[in-house]
């Protein structure tokens, strides 16, 4: 009875095909958006932004992108960290100006972009790279495709380490985000206020979630799911595997590139590719997708929240609450998180999204037994 669908009638196809056709869901998401945009920016501080909200917002975008590829299209990828690096370094080049040299001479130089378009161009460049590395999916799949994307991860990290043009020939090999702003408010750099960084990332997350939700409910989503369930049968009924797989790689890489650009320019400010975008980053985002639930936009949010909030809670409880040494708490934190992941996958292999679906089914009938 708490989750009501009775009396929610539709009188047109437009009403029946809207993003959230159930009125209760629609009002609930409106309330979440109102709280996120109108209340949280006025009550948060630097600690909550840097420890909780910023990692959650950025990793949720990456999880949505990977979920499109793995959960909806069924293409295994272990190169998420490398694709995030492409977004980060592309964003850096567009923020500082792209110069093209040939034979020791400067051919042309693009002007510096503002922070908004730099992040968008980071996503666009990552989508192009994702299309390139998605070509092997036309001939291989499963474990072999996972190895191919893993090779992309190592190659991209190696390239950004070795080719000094990507980090503007810096002696340290790092890239640092210059201070950029919108409408007179700093968004990146040491002087950026916490609420501005939070709102900037939140806008991108809301846009990416809405786009992903509508894509997966439309013709693209049906083609992706047909390829995921049985690619040969999908090709027989008219689904072009070339367009379906490459579109999934392109859209997924676009979202992952945006998350990488935000991770560098807004959250960290300065990165070294091997430390910030190594193979552990790829597995972290993959675990978020698996724990949250494959083939679910809500599962991407739930998985990101689980793996971002749980370590913060454990650290505060073990160090702040029990007074344990920091090094001991860090090791125990890894053990607890790993054990919870294993136990959770055994108890509910379909992820947190399935638990939410079961909860809604219970709320439809409560307090009645049948």
Averaged pLDDT, 327-347: 81
> Is residue 72 within 8 Å of 80, Cβ to Cβ?
no
- For every residue of 180-220, DSSP letters joined together read -EETTEE-SSTT--HHHHHHHHHHHHHHHHHHHHHHHHSHH
> Is residue 263 within 8 Å of 85, Cβ to Cβ?
no
> Is residue 96 within 8 Å of 109, Cβ to Cβ?
no
Averaged pLDDT, 5-21: 73
pLDDT digits (tens, 9 = 90+) for 174-192: 888 888 888 888 888 888 8
pLDDT digits (tens, 9 = 90+) for 205-247: 999 999 999 999 888 989 999 998 888 898 898 888 889 999 9
87 band by pLDDT with thresholds 50, 70 and 90 = very high
Report how many helices (DSSP H) and strands (DSSP E) the chain contains, helices first.
Answer: 17, 6
248 band by pLDDT with thresholds 50, 70 and 90 = very high
Residues facing 176 on adjacent strands? 270
| Percent of the chain with pLDDT strictly greater than 70 | 95
Query: Quick one: pLDDT at residue 207?
Result: 94
pLDDT digits (tens, 9 = 90+) for 318-328: 887 777 888 88
> Is residue 56 within 8 Å of 198, Cβ to Cβ?
no
- Residue ranges per domain, the chain? 39-279
């Amino acid at each position: 009875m708490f989750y009501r669908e009775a009396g929610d009638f539709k009188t047109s196809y437009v009403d029946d095909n809207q993003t959230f056709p159930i009125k209760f869901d629609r009002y609930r998401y409106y309330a979440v958006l109102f709280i996120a945009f109108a209340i949280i920016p006025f009550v948060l501080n630097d600690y909550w932004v840097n420890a909780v909200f910023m990692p959650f917002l950025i990793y949720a975008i990456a999880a949505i992108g990977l979920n499109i590829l793995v959960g909806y299209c069924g293409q295994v990828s272990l190169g998420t960290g490398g694709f995030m690096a492409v977004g980060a370094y592309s964003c850096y080049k567009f923020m500082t100006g792209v110069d093209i040299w040939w034979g020791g001479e400067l051919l042309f130089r693009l002007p510096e972009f503002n922070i908004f378009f730099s992040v968008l161009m980071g996503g666009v460049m990552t989508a192009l790279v994702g299309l390139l590395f998605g070509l092997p999916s036309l001939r291989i799949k499963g474990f072999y495709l996972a190895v191919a994307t893993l090779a992309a991860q190592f190659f991209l990290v190696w390239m950004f380490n070795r080719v000094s043009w990507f980090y503007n020939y810096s002696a340290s090999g790092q890239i640092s985000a210059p201070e950029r702003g919108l409408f007179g408010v700093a968004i990146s750099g040491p002087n950026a206020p916490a609420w501005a960084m939070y709102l900037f990332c939140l806008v991108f997350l809301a846009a990416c979630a809405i786009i992903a939700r509508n894509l997966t409910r439309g013709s693209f989503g049906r083609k992706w799911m047909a390829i995921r369930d049985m690619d040969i049968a999908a090709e027989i009924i008219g689904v072009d595997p070339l367009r379906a797989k490459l579109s999934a790689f392109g859209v997924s890489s676009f979202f992952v590139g945006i998350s990488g650009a935000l991770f560098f320019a807004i959250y960290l400010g300065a990165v070294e590719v091997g430390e910030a975008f190594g193979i552990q980053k790829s597995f972290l985002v993959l675990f978020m997708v698996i724990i949250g639930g494959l083939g679910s936009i809500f599962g991407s949010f739930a998985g990101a929240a689980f793996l971002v909030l749980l370590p913060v809670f454990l650290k505060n409880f073990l160090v702040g609450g029990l007074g344990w040494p920091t090094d001991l708490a860090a090791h125990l934190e890894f053990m607890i998180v790993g054990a919870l992941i294993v136990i959770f996958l055994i108890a509910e292999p379909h992820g947190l999204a399935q638990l939410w679906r079961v909860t809604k089914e219970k709320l439809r009938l409560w307090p009645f037994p049948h």
